[in-house]
Amino acid sequence: MPITISDLLHDAVPYALPLQHRFRGITVREGVLLRGPSGWGEFAPFDDYSPRGCALWLAAAAEAAFGTWPEPLRDRVPVNAIIPALPAADAGSLARRAVLEHGCSTLKVKVAAIGEVLADDEARLVAVRDAADTALRSLGRSEPALLRIDANGGWSAEDAERALRRLSAYDLEYVEQPCPTVDEILELRASTEVPIALDESVRFADPRALEAADIVILKVAPLGGVAAALALAREWGGPVVVSGALDSAVGLSAGLALAAALSGEPPACGLGTGVLLARDVVSEPRVPQDGYLDVGRVAPDLDALMAARDLLGDDRARWWKQRVVDAWESGGEELIAAL
């Protein structure tokens, strides 16, 4: 039987989850959980997504709730910690906790935030490098932490070149989405030896994006599901890093399913964002243990889900359900029919 919009909305639960720190300009993460015969899926596009862009997120949620995922090749995957655009002292404290409490030796640091200057990014990176390496040494580990930076397209090619000349001194594994356009990234490639990972450019299907990338960042929801993301990984054939979108524990399970299906041992995945949530839709947030997360579907806990629903409020709950309808009408129906 074809999936209908009524099927999607029948057990839909909009939710709100407070964050530990401001991230991507928000302090509360919102979305909708959908339930189907396969389990739970998450529809949580950020507010700036168009209905057409939201259609891909809806397809990913429907795949999780009504479809199937590939057979896993491993039962756990390594993850990186994520350090938001915080003052240096706070960033260093988070880095130390990431190593000592969660076992993460790879850390992704946000840079190029609105209202900040390069000196802020450098101070944050210095603090993270020092705190993470010191914490690793305290555990008897001599290897330094792996540091990644993510600019979210916040630099021009000229700004990125200047920034990477300074920030590369801190031994970067790669820079993620340094510029907003492929033209700027191609220009940057000629002036930096720092590997470039592309996220947004790949998502928006510029045919030159894969040529510009050294590494491809794969996010299940914006790509339309685990199967679609896995197909892109195989088409690309080069290094990939699976990442998330500040997901709840339910949404993280889709990213973990993708990482578990990749051939070869995946590098640390950007799925350690559970530590950024003050509350989750499960009673125990899904946070890294010894630098790993276990693979498997997650069902919300009733009490936690009801608390997250009540925090959202009636007006936003209606807005989110209408957003599901808008995504369905803007291409979601066709995408879901093809699952």
Question: 7-31 pLDDT, tens per residue?
Answer: 999 999 999 999 998 888 899 999 9
Helix/strand/coil for 325: helix
pTM of the model: 0.95
Sign of the CA dihedral running 218, 222, 226, 228: negative
What strands, in cross-sheet order, belong to the sheet with 146-150? Answer: 81-83, 106-110, 146-150, 172-176, 196-198, 215-219, 240-243
Q: What percent of the chain has pLDDT over 70?
A: 99
Question: 185-239 pLDDT, tens per residue?
Answer: 999 999 999 999 998 767 766 778 888 899 999 999 999 999 999 999 998 899 9
Structure tokens, 130: 């020092």
Question: 42-71 pLDDT, tens per residue?
Answer: 999 999 899 999 999 999 999 999 999 999
Q: Which pLDDT belongs to residue 277? A: 95
Return the CATH number of 76-294, one of 3.30.420.40, 3.20.20.120, 2.40.30.10, 3.40.50.2300.
Answer: 3.20.20.120
Q: Is the pLDDT of residue 306 over 80?
A: yes
Separation between Cα atoms, residue 32 and residue 44, nearest integer Å: 6
Q: Which pLDDT belongs to residue 204? A: 63
Q: What percent of the chain has pLDDT over 90?
A: 89
Tokens 């029948």 locate to 10
Q: Which residues contact 228 (CB under 8 A, 6 or more apart)?
A: 56, 59, 60
Structure tokens, 84: 């938001």
Domain boundaries, the chain: 5-68+302-337, 76-294
DSSP 53: H
Helix/strand/coil for 304: helix
What strands, in cross-sheet order, belong to the sheet with 13-23? Answer: 13-23, 26-36, 39-43
Q: Which residues contact 6 (CB under 8 A, 6 or more apart)?
A: none
Q: Which pLDDT belongs to residue 22? A: 87
Separation between Cα atoms, residue 100 and residue 97, nearest integer Å: 5
Question: Which residues belong to the active site?
Answer: 110, 219
Mean pLDDT value across the chain: 95
Q: Which pLDDT belongs to residue 23? A: 85
Question: Tell me: domain 5-68+302-337, CATH 3.10.20.30, correct?
Answer: no
The continuous run of DSSP H or E covering 71 comes out as none
Q: Which pLDDT belongs to residue 25? A: 83
Q: Do the beta carbons of residue 255 and residue 271 sit within 8 Å?
A: yes
Q: Which pLDDT belongs to residue 135? A: 98
Neighbours of 118 (CB within 10 A): 15
Residue type, 150: D
Q: Which pLDDT belongs to residue 188? A: 95
